[in-house]
Structure 1
Amino acid sequence: MLAGLGLFLLATACSKKTEVTPAPQPAAASQAQLAPVAAPAPATASNSDKLQDYIACYNQLDRNAHRSIARYRSWVKDMDAGPSGKEAVVYGLYKIDVDEIAKCQVSFTQAGKTAPGKLDVAATAYINSLAELGTLVADADQYYSRDNYKDDAFAKGKKMHAPLTAAMKLFEEKSNIFSDEIEAENDKVLDAEMQQLEKNEGRQLPYLQMALMSKAKHLIRLISEEKFDAATAAKALAEYESLTDEAIAYVKKNSESAASGWSSLERACEDYRKAAKERVRRIRDKVPYSEGDKMMLKPGSAWMVEGSQEKVTKAYNELIEASNRMHR
């Protein structure tokens, strides 16, 4: 999955999911100089608030939902048949915050009343599918966490399996659609803000931070996939590196202008750079995973495998978090 949006800133490495990345916000002094989002259509304050609300809910809830699904799949060996009752280890599921889902349902309903469009349709479908999944997961989590399956020989677990997996499948579908719609809308806002910021202030740190994060997001969209064109990815990586190096050089010459969190962001930029290079090299050179790597390619440890999707996604999510911390 991708990691945070603000209007700068899609969260965890579940399949292709990362936290949605709102564009990094410039520092307060620079924000005052930004004009309202323009072209192709100016964004109203309510539309901007709506997008931020969608992003906040997505980033808060999506990762845990995907983690819960991954945890269930990790021990149910045959997802078509469901639990056999002979599993050596039963992990159950991770909880999904149903109270927060309910809050987001309310806010999404209100947001959808303002100039509704494709994003609002996707948001409604997403939060409703998540609400359904959350209810089923809560029931299943209680059943497995209390070891109730030991008392009924998995009878309830087997009965729950079909509706639970159907809800998982529907949620994953709606999550992908919602993520794409958020990213598309957020990209419009981010591009307009960057253009205005560069026009008003030039290539100073607020602009450079937004630009390098934009390139980082474009890069992760390519290399977090299972397969991608290595030449295209190498070009995107070079663009990210160029802007990152420009930002680092700017801060070195203008250290007084750097926010207190810049050192953490710079480290995160370098970690992401390294992980991205490893990922591109593995695909470019067609390097197979070793037997040891394959043993590690599972939830909780896959991020430690060089060149893996999970490692680069983890580095990207940490980059997002470091960027967002600069403006908190």
Structure 2
Amino acid sequence: MATAYQRTLIGDEGLTPTSWAGLTFPFGDRGPQPGELLTVMDGVRWWRVPMSGPLKHVNGLILDDGDALLAIDTGTASPRTTEAWRAILEGPLAGQRVGRILCTHMHPDHVGLAGWLSRRFDDAGIVMTRTEWLMVRMLAADARPEVPEEQLDFWRGAGWDEEQVARGAGRGWSNFGKMIARMPLTYTRIQNGDVMRIGGSDWHVVTGNGHSPEHACLVDYDRRVLIAGDQVLPKISSNISVHVSQTNDDPLGDWLTSIAKFKTLPEDLLVLPGHGDPFYGLHTRLDALRDEHIDRLDAIVDLMGEGPVRAVDCFKVLFRRPIGPDVIGMATGESLAHLCRLEVEGRAVREVKDGVWWFGRA
């Protein structure tokens, strides 16, 4: 999911205003009210699926799909979100049937209620990319209560002190399974380059990487609209993190490659993001996201001029307020993503001392 702190760490306000300069918001401040579906264009309706946390909601989309509906992204499996779904199904969608549920990616705020919604409509089909589907299945199945030693070593490697490690261990292992409803055993795979016929329109699948492994976006070239999920957000930047399962991976490199890929899409698309308001200015926003990361990479290289650094030492140049226990996990993942990118670029070298990763200038 998009992080609540982002690189500016000013809650759900996201990046500094200059980062979204040049964007146009056709709906202004007029977003959907609770329980309301707002028509974006013929056959495409937008609603805000409420959830806990600073982001407050995820954007849900309802597309006309022949004699049924296609729902895109569902919110987390929580009483509040479930009640919101019941309200629109018994209100503005009363008497209509959801035939398919498309989840842009595997994060709980986008896939959490997909299984519940599928069962409510007699096993309505789940549509996802293969990697996102497998990640959901894997994470939901890993329900061990204790934090594994590999995770503790990961936190120590990033520079956490023993008090921070103990606090992390006290929170227990993954809550992923608690945030999603049980998924069905079958799904329909989509992949980059596919064309989905939804209602009377052709939607082209374009995948991105970095925020999640195989994030699906949809483009209707005829009506000039991009369903972007968390791949392109207007005022906050999606979390790009290294996790315990990928300590030598380069998700930030994947993210920058995806930005270049999405720059090949038309500039005049209306972007429907997973969080925030629909906007015009796709290329402007992609340039801002790219430049923000490049600036932060250079800032870390400057910091390493004072000597080798750990992931936790990078917080002061990546973020704009102290990192507390509520966001230290995400902040650590994002710091490591930048350090790993510098390794790949040949600008940093990692050395392990007493189980701690130190990164110095190459």
Q: TM-score range by the shorter chain?
A: 0.3 to 0.5
Q: Which structure is richer in relative contact order (CA contacts within 8 A, separation 6 or more)?
A: 1
Give the structure with the higher percent helix. Answer: 1
- Which is strand-richer, 1 or 2? 2
TM-score in terms of structure 1 length: 0.33
